[in-house]
């Protein structure tokens, strides 16, 4: 027997998409939200590592060998580059955090696990997630048995009236909503952004109903026109937000680094305790500590760039904008309803940042449709239903344009249009 909860996660979304990609290697993939490898700059890895070693040796008056030996050892569960990351958060994101309130985690995925396992009582507490959302939180909660409830999103993010109703319904059933998980910037999968008035209202609701907001920011800096809405964390005056900042998309996923910011105090057995200390305790039994070598490389990147990633990301953002523009112009060209009447019921959003776009289509998009499109049209996309915890997304697809080239986007959309035309004809 294995964990019976495993079967509740239904579709192994990532596994399925990977298999399709392997089976049809020449297909263009608009399925994967991977960052573009052209910007990784991994050849500079040793430079950054050495920058960090030199900086620590100078600050702590130690020789390089001692610093390196320390990097080879077990290390602090909270992390070793907390000061550098706190400086970055303040400079680039307007978030003031005490370095001791930070945990440097093995990606956001570990931070999600730590937050849920530290805060929630499986018997009494409920986690609310946006529907659709990133499967990292939903699938983790399902396989570990934490109750998770979906609330739909629209083009303004989480539906706050429905959220309030759900909280009250749970209370009537003797359950407490402990965490509300949101991706407020360029949400995965929809690509939408939560406007500031909704952020303020969500913060107000968190105070009123006493829950934590788990804000997952993986895409916030990828704003194409440079206009950014302040994060919930930066707007939070009531210490309601636990902030998760992934560096997988801004730098590269193999660093496996994210920052968790939790400046709250909680009462534990009558004693006031810092939440970040409790989280460090949980982390100790998940990954012991985050690899120090990776932290040193990231620390070096921050030191070399004066604690800002704005310059590091400038070209990437310009490139993403070019891809978004190519995507929209290709959609306008190949799905022009004036020229192609079959395309009249197809629509899409125009994301202002991030990696994703949503396309609405007039037929049900199943797993079989993905296979047909890959096999016959050499294009892979993701059905939006893969990201729903509840019912929904049957008539939508997500396209991710971060990983492909500008030229592939135009070919990919031409192929998508051929596939859509055929499917619409078959379904009529
Ligand atoms: C919203 C969101 N959070 C987190 C992640 C991954 O984070 P990490 O690589 O830091 O675990 C992703 C990746 O797709 C994502 O879309």
Per-residue model confidence as pLDDT tens for the chain (428 residues): 899 999 888 767 778 888 888 899 999 999 989 999 999 999 999 999 999 999 999 999 999 999 999 999 999 999 999 999 999 999 999 999 999 999 999 999 999 999 999 999 999 999 999 999 999 999 999 999 999 999 999 999 999 999 999 999 999 999 999 999 999 999 999 999 999 999 999 999 999 999 999 999 999 999 999 888 999 999 999 999 999 999 999 999 999 999 999 999 998 888 999 999 999 999 999 999 999 999 999 999 999 999 999 999 999 999 999 999 999 999 999 999 999 999 999 999 999 999 999 999 999 999 899 999 999 999 999 999 999 998 899 999 999 999 999 999 999 999 999 999 999 998 87
Q: Whose CA is nearest to atom 6 of ligand 1?
A: 108
User: Distance, CA 405 to ligand 1 centroid (Å)?
Assistant: 21
Where helices occur in 173-304 by DSSP H, the ranges are 196-209, 232-235, 275-284, 292-304
Q: Is 382 in the pocket of ligand 1 (CB under 6 A)?
A: no
Are residues 78 and 168 part of one domain?
A: yes
Q: Whose CA is nearest to atom 3 of ligand 1?
A: 218
Are residues 87 and 124 part of one domain?
A: yes
Q: Quote the pLDDT of residue 313.
A: 96
Ligand 1: which of 31, 247, 248, 356 to mutate, judged by most atoms within 8 Å of the beta carbon?
248
User: Distance, CA 1 to ligand 1 centroid (Å)?
Assistant: 31
Q: Quote the pLDDT of residue 11.
A: 67
**379, 373 Cβ separation under 8 angstroms:** yes
- The domain of 189 spans 43-304
Are residues 323 and 184 part of one domain?
A: no
Q: Whose CA is nearest to atom 16 of ligand 1?
A: 188
How many beta carbons lie within 10 A of that of residue 78, not counting itself?
Answer: 22
- The domain spanning residue 33 has which CATH number? 3.90.1150.10
Last residue in a domain, options 263, 281, 304: 304
Are residues 357 and 216 part of one domain?
A: no
Measured distance CA(245)–CA(260) in Å, rounded = 7
Q: Quote the pLDDT of residue 268.
A: 81
Q: How many domains does the chain have?
A: 2
Measured distance CA(75)–CA(164) in Å, rounded = 42
Are residues 251 and 319 part of one domain?
A: no
Q: Is 134 in the pocket of ligand 1 (CB under 6 A)?
A: yes
Q: Is 187 in the pocket of ligand 1 (CB under 6 A)?
A: no
Indicate if the alpha-carbon torsion angle 386, 388, 392, 398 is positive or negative. Answer: negative
Are residues 71 and 35 part of one domain?
A: no
Q: Is 109 in the pocket of ligand 1 (CB under 6 A)?
A: yes
Kindly list the strands in the beta sheet with 396-400, ordered across the sheet, starting from the edge strand earlier in the chain.
347-348, 356-360, 396-400, 382-383
Are residues 115 and 82 part of one domain?
A: yes
Are residues 218 and 202 part of one domain?
A: yes
Last residue in a domain, options 304, 339, 359: 304
User: Distance, CA 246 to ligand 1 centroid (Å)?
Assistant: 6
User: Distance, CA 14 to ligand 1 centroid (Å)?
Assistant: 13
Q: Quote the pLDDT of residue 337.
A: 95
Q: Is 253 in the pocket of ligand 1 (CB under 6 A)?
A: yes
Are residues 252 and 167 part of one domain?
A: yes
- The domain spanning residue 155 has which CATH number? 3.40.640.10
> What is the number of the ligand 1 atom nearest to the C-alpha of 258?
10
User: Distance, CA 169 to ligand 1 centroid (Å)?
Assistant: 30
Q: Is 106 in the pocket of ligand 1 (CB under 6 A)?
A: no
User: Distance, CA 247 to ligand 1 centroid (Å)?
Assistant: 9
Are residues 96 and 52 part of one domain?
A: yes
User: Distance, CA 400 to ligand 1 centroid (Å)?
Assistant: 14
Are residues 207 and 79 part of one domain?
A: yes
Selection from 406, 413, 343 nearest residue 378 by Cα = 413
Last residue in a domain, options 288, 304, 320: 304
**383, 393 Cβ separation under 8 angstroms:** yes
Measured distance CA(240)–CA(178) in Å, rounded = 11
**397, 383 Cβ separation under 8 angstroms:** yes
Are residues 122 and 175 part of one domain?
A: yes
Q: Is 33 in the pocket of ligand 1 (CB under 6 A)?
A: yes
């Amino acid at each position: 027997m294995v964990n019976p909860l495993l079967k509740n996660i239904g579709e192994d979304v990532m596994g399925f998409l990977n298999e399709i990609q392997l089976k049809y290697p020449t297909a263009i993939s608009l399925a994967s939200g991977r960052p573009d490898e052209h910007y990784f700059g991994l050849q500079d890895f040793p430079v950054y590592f050495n920058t960090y070693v030199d900086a620590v040796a100078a600050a702590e008056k130690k020789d390089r060998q001692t610093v390196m030996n320390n990097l080879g050892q077990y290390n602090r569960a909270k992390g070793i580059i907390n000061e550098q990351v706190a400086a970055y958060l303040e400079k680039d994101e307007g978030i003031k955090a005490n370095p001791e309130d930070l945990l440097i985690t093995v990606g956001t995925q570990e931070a999600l696990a730590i937050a849920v396992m530290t805060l929630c009582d499986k018997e009494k507490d409920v986690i609310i997630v946006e529907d659709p959302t990133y499967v990292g939180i939903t699938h983790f909660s399902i396989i570990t048995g934490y109750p998770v409830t979906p609330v739909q999103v629209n083009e303004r993010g989480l539906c706050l009236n429905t959220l309030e109703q759900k909280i009250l319904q749970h209370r009537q059933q003797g359950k407490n909503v402990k965490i509300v998980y949101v991706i407020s910037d360029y949400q995965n999968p929809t690509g939408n952004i939560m406007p500031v008035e909704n952020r303020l209202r969500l913060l107000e609701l968190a105070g009123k109903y006493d829950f934590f907001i788990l804000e997952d920011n993986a895409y916030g800096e990828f704003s194409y026109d440079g206009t950014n809405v302040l994060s919930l964390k930066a707007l939070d005056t009531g210490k309601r937000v636990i902030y998760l900042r992934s560096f997988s998309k801004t730098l590269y996923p193999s660093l496996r680094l994210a920052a968790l910011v939790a400046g709250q105090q909680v009462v534990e057995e009558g004693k006031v305790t810092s939440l970040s200390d409790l989280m460090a305790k949980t982390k100790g039994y998940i990954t012991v500590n985050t690899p120090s070598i990776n932290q040193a490389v990231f620390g070096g990147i921050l030191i070399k760039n004066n604690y800002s990633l704005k310059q590091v990301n400038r070209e990437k953002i310009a490139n993403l904008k070019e891809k978004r523009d190519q995507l929209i112009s290709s959609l306008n060209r190949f799905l022009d309803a004036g020229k192609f009447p079959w395309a009249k019921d197809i629509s899409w959003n125009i994301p202002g940042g991030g990696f994703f776009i949503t396309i609405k289509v007039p037929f049900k998009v199943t797993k079989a449709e993905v296979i047909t499109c890959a096999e016959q049209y050499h294009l892979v996309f993701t059905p939006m239903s893969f990201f729903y915890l509840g019912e929904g997304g049957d008539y939508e697809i997500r396209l991710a344009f971060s990983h492909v080239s500008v030229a592939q986007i135009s070919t990919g959309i031409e192929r998508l249009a051929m596939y859509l035309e055929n499917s619409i004809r078959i379904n009529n």
